[in-house]
């Protein structure tokens, strides 16, 4: 069954938002889960976290950055075009419940999967402090939506073009140092950001959750492509995660596995042959 694109817009340089009609997925989706889509019969399967969903209207929102051949191809699609497959919701939903004060951090395109969590944690009765960051202000996404959904909202940019001049982790540290009683911190973004955040929060003893983005193929626990090491045990991010205790994740292994096919990916992008 093809999945119709209801809306498509560019929200930052090389970053696009797409609303796709997928009533069954929208009905079952929960914050923290993801989908796998295929543009056509020959294209690769790409996992994307659900950035929003509307069960009544029957659509899911995905946000993606043009990185490789398939995401560039996806970026060329428009409203009324159809995707061959969209499978989901996949993965274990985020463990959202009333905890007290929760800090939610989104870096770069990682802001997209944080957004449904901000709404869910707030709906569960938590005080939600959101921090979003990017290299510069042009790359910030969902700023208004995140601000509206949070009790407290902060922005950080590497170049100082908006908000705190520096990293999102500096803002987290300031909040922890201010004596705010924080029960949980959720960080989603590039692996290096999640690694740095995990190292920073550990001495404070605050539970820290990250959402991992390893290479995924089937998304159902069959292929082993998404294996990660957590607390010395092998886990499959697609079924055991994608969320894990940040203080137990082997980020170096995650980053080296993500780099495994970099040469093939750039070759593929140059030749458009795969
Ligand atoms: Fe295949 Fe997770 S993607 S086991």
The model's pLDDT over 139-151, given as tens digits with 9 standing for 90+, comes to 999 999 999 999 9
Cα gap 173→129, rounded to integer Å: 13
Q: What are phi and psi of 87, to 5 degrees?
A: -105, 135
Strand (E) or helix (H) holding 62: strand 59-65
DSSP letter for each residue of 141-187: -SHHHHHHH-SEEEEEETTSSSSEES-HHHHHHHHHHTT----EEEE
Peptide bond between residue 242 and the one before it cis (omega within 30 degrees of 0)? yes
- pTM recorded for the entire structure: 0.90
For the stretch 27-39, pLDDT in tens is: 999 988 999 999 9
| Region of poorest pLDDT, from 34-43, 108-117, 258-267 | 258-267
pLDDT over 70 (residue 262):
no
Structure tokens at 265: 């990916």
Distance 217 CA to ligand 1 centre (A): 6
For the chain, what percent of residues have pLDDT higher than 90? 79
Distance 147 CA to ligand 1 centre (A): 34
Question: Looking at residue 147, what is its pLDDT?
Answer: 97
Question: Looking at residue 273, what is its pLDDT?
Answer: 46
Distance 234 CA to ligand 1 centre (A): 12
Residues 61-87 have a mean pLDDT of 92
> Is residue 238 lining ligand 1, measured as CB closer than 6 Å?
yes
Q: What is the ipTM of this complex?
A: 0.98
pLDDT over 70 (residue 226):
yes
Instruction: Categorize the per-residue pLDDT at 220 as very low, low, confident or very high, splitting at 50, 70 and 90.
Output: confident
- Alpha carbon of 54 to those of 27, 28, 51, 61: distances in Å? 8, 10, 11, 8
Cα gap 127→54, rounded to integer Å: 24
- Alpha carbon of 222 to those of 50, 64, 86, 225: distances in Å? 22, 25, 18, 8
Q: Which residue has the higher pLDDT, 31 or 130?
A: 130
Tell me the CATH class for 3-90.
mainly beta
Q: Which region, left, alpha or beta, applies to residue 170 given φ > 0 means left and ψ of -120 to 50 means alpha?
A: alpha
- Give the chain's mean pLDDT: 91
Name the CATH architecture for the domain at 94-207: 3-Layer(aba) Sandwich (3.40)
- Residue 44 contacts residue 70 (beta carbons within 8 Å): yes
Domain extents in the chain = 3-90, 94-207, 212-274
> Is residue 236 lining ligand 1, measured as CB closer than 6 Å?
yes
> Is residue 224 lining ligand 1, measured as CB closer than 6 Å?
yes
Which residue has tokens 């930052």? Answer: 12
Cα gap 261→238, rounded to integer Å: 19
Residues 109-137 have a mean pLDDT of 95
- In this structure, the residue with its CA closest to atom 4 of ligand 1 is 221
Residues 230-237 have a mean pLDDT of 94
pLDDT over 60 (residue 217):
yes
Question: Looking at residue 174, what is its pLDDT?
Answer: 96
Tell which one of 87, 212, 221 to mutate to probe ligand 1, the residue whose CB is within 8 A of the most ligand atoms.
221
Residues 107-128 have a mean pLDDT of 95
Instruction: Categorize the per-residue pLDDT at 198 as very low, low, confident or very high, splitting at 50, 70 and 90.
Output: very high
- Alpha carbon of 42 to those of 36, 83, 202: distances in Å? 15, 12, 44
């Amino acid at each position: 069954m093809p999945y119709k694109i209801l809306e498509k817009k560019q929200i930052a340089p090389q970053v696009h938002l797409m609303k796709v009609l997928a009533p069954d997925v929208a009905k079952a989706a929960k914050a923290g889960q993801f989908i796998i889509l295929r543009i056509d019969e020959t294209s690769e399967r790409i996992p994307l976290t659900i950035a929003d969903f509307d069960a009544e209207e029957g659509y899911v929102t995905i946000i993606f950055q043009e990185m490789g051949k398939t995401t560039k191809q996806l970026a060329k699609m428009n409203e009324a075009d159809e995707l061959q497959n969209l499978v989901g919701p996949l993965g274990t939903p985020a463990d959202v419940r009333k905890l007290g004060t929760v800090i939610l951090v989104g870096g770069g395109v990682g802001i997209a999967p944080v957004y449904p969590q901000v709404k869910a944690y707030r709906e569960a009765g938590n005080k939600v402090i959101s921090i979003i960051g990017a290299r510069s202000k042009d790359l910030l996404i969902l700023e208004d939506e995140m601000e509206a959904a949070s009790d407290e909202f902060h922005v950080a940019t590497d170049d100082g073009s908006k908000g705190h001049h520096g990293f999102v982790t500096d803002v987290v540290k300031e909040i922890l140092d201010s004596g705010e009683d924080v029960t949980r911190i959720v960080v989603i973004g590039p692996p290096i950001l999640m690694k740095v955040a995990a190292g920073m929060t550990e001495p404070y003893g605050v539970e820290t959750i990250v959402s991992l983005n390893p290479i995924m193929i089937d998304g159902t626990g069959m292929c082993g492509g998404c294996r990660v090491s957590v607390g010395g045990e092998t886990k499959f991010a697609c079924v055991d995660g994608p969320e894990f205790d940040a203080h137990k994740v082997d980020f170096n292994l995650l980053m080296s596995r993500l780099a495994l096919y970099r040469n093939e990916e750039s070759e593929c992008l140059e030749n458009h042959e795969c």
